[in-house]
């Protein structure tokens, strides 16, 4: 267990509650009748894509299973502290002290994204 119950709840809320509903709304508005046109017929590109992603996977897996990975210096929140105080308390404390500037910037970003989406989707084309 990773003791990240806040992340789990946020993930379910955002992805099942917001993003999936958004995708379903867009799929409802867009009608894609024939699925034939989406088949990639260029088989050399398929092989290249497979080889490239296999290479990326080998690189990432090699990096993740390397022995040097375990040598990082430990932080100040061991399992006992997280279980005693609770991860939500710790995240909130960090978010409103050390990362307050990032928090404000991300709030502005979300506002800009919502306004931009309304402006882009509202425009009518002839």
Partner 1 sequence: MIPIEHILLLSALLFIIGVLGVMLRRNVIVIFMSIELMLNAVNLSFVTFARSLDSMTGVVFIFFIIVVAAAEAVVGLSIILSIFRTRKTLNIDEFNLLKW
Q: For residue 85, what are its two tokens?
A: 């105080």
By CB under 8 A, tell whether 91 contacts partner 1.
yes
By CB under 8 A, tell whether 24 contacts partner 1.
no
Residue 34, helix vs strand vs coil = coil
Q: Provide the sign of the torsion angle of the four alpha carbons 108, 5, 57, 36, taken in this order.
A: negative
Task: State which of residues 28, 44, 101, 120 lies at the interface with partner 1 (CB under 8 A).
Answer: 120
Q: In b/e form, how buried is each residue of 13-23, taking b as 16+ CB within 10 angstroms?
A: eeeeeeeeeee
* Residue 84 vs 116, nearer CB to partner 1: 116
Instruction: Please tell me the distance from the alpha carbon of residue 91 to that of residue 85, in angstroms, as a whole number.
Output: 11
Q: Which residues bind partner 1 (CB under 8 A)?
A: 1-4, 6-7, 10-11, 14-15, 18-19, 22-23, 26-27, 29-30, 32, 37-40, 45-46, 49-50, 52-54, 56-57, 60-61, 64-65, 70, 72-79, 82, 87, 90-91, 94-95, 99, 102, 106, 109-110, 112-114, 116-118, 120-121, 123, 125
């Amino acid at each position: 267990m990773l003791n990240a119950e806040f992340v789990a709840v946020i993930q379910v809320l955002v992805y099942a509650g917001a993003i999936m509903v958004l995708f379903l709304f867009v799929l409802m508005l867009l009608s894609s009748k024939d699925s034939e046109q989406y088949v990639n017929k260029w088989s050399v590109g398929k092989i290249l894509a497979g080889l490239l992603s296999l290479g990326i996977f080998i690189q990432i897996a090699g990096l993740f299973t390397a022995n040097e990975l375990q040598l990082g210096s430990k932080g100040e929140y061991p399992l006992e502290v997280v279980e005693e105080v609770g991860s939500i308390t710790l995240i909130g404390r960090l978010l409103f002290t050390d990362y307050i500037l990032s928090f404000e910037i991300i709030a502005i970003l979300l506002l800009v994204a919502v306004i931009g989406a309304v402006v882009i989707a509202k425009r009518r084309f002839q």
